[in-house]
Amino acid sequence: MADENPHPVVQYLNEQPEPANEAPAQAPVQEPVQQEQQAPPLEPPRADNPTGELEERASNKLELTGPLIDSYFRELWKAMYAKLGRSRNTGLMPPVKLFVPYTMFQHLCNVAVGYGGSMKSSKTTLAVNIESFEAASKVFSPVRFGGQNYFIKKRLLDKVRVNSRTILQYSGRASVVVGKSTPVIFDYNMKQEKLTLTFYVQRYDKADFCLDLRLQALMNKD
């Protein structure tokens, strides 16, 4: 006959709930590996936007040096542009001379050579040749001149009397030509700190025919 009053310890064990089935251990969640984002490649400087690593190396990104470098390029090209006015002179133009401190010419030289120019040096002189129109367009970019495009073909207009009125009529154009046979040359005298700029100009009539055939033949060889 079973004992109606079991031992208190046995009664306690019988009253305990059965242990629940433990859930299987889950594998640790691996966090996604974040790939390092690489910086986008630097865009090559363009004629309409000559920014980038080259301008930084030439110190043209500095607050004081940058505008000073651009001001020298602006003075040089304004002197070149002034010779595109009404004239019969073609070919090699009279040189443009400008006093430039040696420390400043180093920055100008870095820009010109960086965009494709070639440099030759001697004991007292430095010469930088720009032999492509693309390189010259970057050196004399409109960005340096507040958006004004100096490196363009200058249109020439004549005053014509028509029906008792004076009108302007297109008569031709003049432009700086740049090539291997007609380079833009920066010739710098280190002793005198004087920069001499030489360049070539071709002129065209209103039918867009060149006026200097010998210069055009020289350009066609490039």
Per-residue DSSP letters for the chain? Answer: ---SS--HHHHHHHHSPPPPPPPPPPPPPPPPPPPPPPPPPPPPP-SS---SHHHHHTTTTSTTHHHHHHHHHHHHHHHHHHTTSS----EEPPPEEEE--HHHHHHHHHHHHHTT-EEEE-SSEEEEEE--HHHHHHHT-GGGGTT---SSPEEEEEEEEETTEEEEEEEEEEEEE-SSSS-EEEEEETTTTEEEEE-EEEEEETT--BS-HHHHHHHHT-
Q: What is the pTM of this model?
A: 0.67
- Sorted by where each begins, the domain ranges of the chain are 63-220
Rounded CA gap, 195 and 176, in Å?
19
CB 198 within 8 A of CB 161: no
Question: Given this model, what pLDDT does residue 39 score?
Answer: 41
Q: What is the pLDDT of residue 198?
A: 95
Q: How many CB atoms lie within 10 A of CB 145?
A: 17
The confidence score (pLDDT) of residue 138 equals 87
Residue-level pLDDT, tens digit, the chain, 222 residues: 555 555 554 555 556 555 555 555 555 555 555 554 444 443 444 444 454 565 555 555 555 567 888 889 989 988 888 888 878 889 999 999 999 999 999 989 989 998 899 999 999 999 999 999 889 988 888 777 666 665 556 777 777 777 778 887 777 888 899 999 999 999 999 999 999 999 999 998 888 888 899 999 988 887
What's the pLDDT at 53?
Answer: 61
Rounded (5°) CA angle 65-67-73: 105
Q: What is the CA radius of gyration of the chain?
A: 38
Specify which residues 159 forms β-bridges with: 168
